């Protein structure tokens, strides 16, 4: 015995002219909101939470320092120790000087003083390496820093 | 045309990352050629130590992170003019006239083994104390929250409650042990 009656299918037709409008709308939305990630993050980073935060303005004046343990796939080669990533390679504190100098080169004379160094640091990182980085930045006269954080979800 | 639009759409769909870059802005002190010892009266310093087990010591007393905000607030305000809380000096502030400004400095010292998480939590609490003080002042003086103030008013509020956080050079608990 059939419990469900099969519905008769009616061949219908609908206009698909509005589909392209929708697709275009979505396209523009993603085009506007997208930000091209210019570096691949090679370390695992879970940002700490903070409430006293502000949006980072002027992305072009910002350079990023990533600190965390290497991604799972890279741990075979690089171990599980905390590492620092500048641009797209693992670096040490001594490389910061060149890194900041290279970023300064790209900026115009007037913007150089505005250069911000953003810290993307995993919350399990020990302060030792963070302090070393900060001391090196002081030596390089790159004094504007920003600790990137997440807004807590309530 | 729709094909091309679809192609672009999928491309942007896949490459898009909604990263919101928000963070806590800070300014590092410039590196001095020689270490100067600034003489600050002991009552004007609130010493916050965080050890490698992420425990807090505030002026010698153990404390939980969530209580730090109120401690900093009473420290800066010194409502009863206690002798062990910071002094106040009278300053002439543009747009406000002479105001008494606290000389208090929050000194934050961490260990090399302190976790970044607790460091950020402590920084956040201290910042929260300052922004609450500024907010309260703004409401009582200008009848407006901070977000509705003009740039000059904001500057005035900032100079009544200047952000005085000093980060001491980090200690290294392991190095100390080795010396002994």
**How far lies A143's CA from each of A93, B27, B29, B30, B112, in Å?**
16, 6, 7, 7, 21
| Yes or no, beta carbons of B121 and A48 under 8 Å apart | yes
> Inter-chain contact B5–A24, Cβ cutoff 8 Å?
yes
CATH number of the CATH domain containing A62? 3.30.420.270
The residue behind tokens 């000194």 is B107
Q: Is residue A139 scored above 60 in pLDDT? A: yes
Query: How distant is the alpha carbon of residue B54 from its chain centre?
Result: 18
Domain presence at residue B26: no
Report the pLDDT value the prediction gives residue B118, as an integer from 0 to 100.
Answer: 92
ipTM: 0.77
Number of domains in chain B: 1
**Residue pointed to by tokens 């900060």:** A134
A65 inside domain: yes
> Residue A38: inside a domain, yes or no?
no
Least confident of A3-17, A38-52, A122-136: A3-17
**Cβ–Cβ below 8 Å for A147 and B127:** no
Q: Give chain A's domain count.
A: 1
In a domain, A60, yes or no: yes
The answer to the question of residue B11 being in a domain is no
Q: Is B25 among the domain residues? A: no
CA A110 remoteness from chain centre: 26
**Closest chain A residue to the Cα of B9, Cα to Cα:** A27
Give which of A26, A50, A133, A134 to mutate to test B binding, by max B Cβ within 10 Å: A50
Q: Which residues of B touch A46 (CB under 8 A)?
A: none
Domain assignment present for residue B136? The answer is yes
The per-residue pLDDT for range A43-61, each reduced to its tens digit, is 888 889 888 888 887 777 8
Mean pLDDT of B20-46: 77
Whether residue B61 lies inside any domain: the answer is yes
Instruction: For residue B7, tell me if it sits in a domain.
Output: no
Residue B162 backbone class (left: φ over 0; alpha: ψ -120 to 50; beta: rest): beta
Domain containing A120 equals 43-147
Domain that holds residue B116: 40-170
Q: Is B20 part of any domain?
A: no
């Amino acid at each position: 015995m059939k419990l469900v009656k099969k519905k008769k299918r009616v061949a219908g037709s609908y206009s698909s002219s509005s589909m392209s409008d929708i697709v275009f709308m979505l396209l523009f939305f993603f085009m506007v909101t997208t930000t091209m990630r210019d570096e691949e993050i090679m370390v695992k980073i879970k940002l700490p939470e903070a409430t006293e935060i502000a949006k980072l303005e002027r992305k072009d004046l910002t350079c990023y320092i990533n600190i965390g343990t290497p991604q799972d796939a890279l741990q075979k080669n690089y171990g599980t120790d905390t590492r620092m990533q500048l641009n797209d390679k693992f670096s040490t504190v001594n490389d910061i000087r060149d890194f900041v100098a290279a970023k300064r080169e790209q900026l115009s004379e007037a913007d150089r003083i505005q250069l911000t160094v953003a810290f993307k640091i995993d919350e399990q990182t020990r302060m030792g390496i963070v302090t070393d980085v900060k001391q090196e930045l002081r030596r390089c006269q790159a004094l504007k820093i920003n600790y990137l954080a997440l807004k807590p979800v309530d | 045309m729709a094909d091309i639009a679809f192609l672009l759409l999928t491309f942007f769909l896949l490459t898009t990352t909604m990263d919101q870059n928000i963070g806590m802005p800070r300014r590092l002190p410039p590196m001095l050629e020689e270490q100067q010892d600034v003489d600050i009266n002991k009552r004007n310093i609130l010493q916050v130590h965080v050890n490698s087990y992420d425990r807090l010591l505030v002026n010698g007393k153990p404390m939980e992170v969530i209580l730090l905000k109120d401690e900093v607030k009473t420290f800066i305000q010194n409502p009863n003019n206690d002798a062990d809380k910071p002094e106040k000096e009278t300053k002439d502030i543009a747009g406000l006239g002479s105001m008494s400004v606290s000389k208090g400095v929050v000194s934050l010292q961490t260990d090399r083994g302190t976790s970044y998480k607790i460091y950020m939590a402590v920084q956040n609490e201290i910042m929260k104390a300052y922004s609450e003080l500024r907010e309260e002042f703004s409401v009582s003086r200008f009848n407006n929250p901070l977000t509705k103030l003009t740039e000059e008013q904001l500057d005035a509020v900032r100079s009544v409650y200047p952000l005085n956080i000093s980060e001491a050079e980090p200690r290294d608990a392991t190095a100390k042990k080795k010396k002994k």
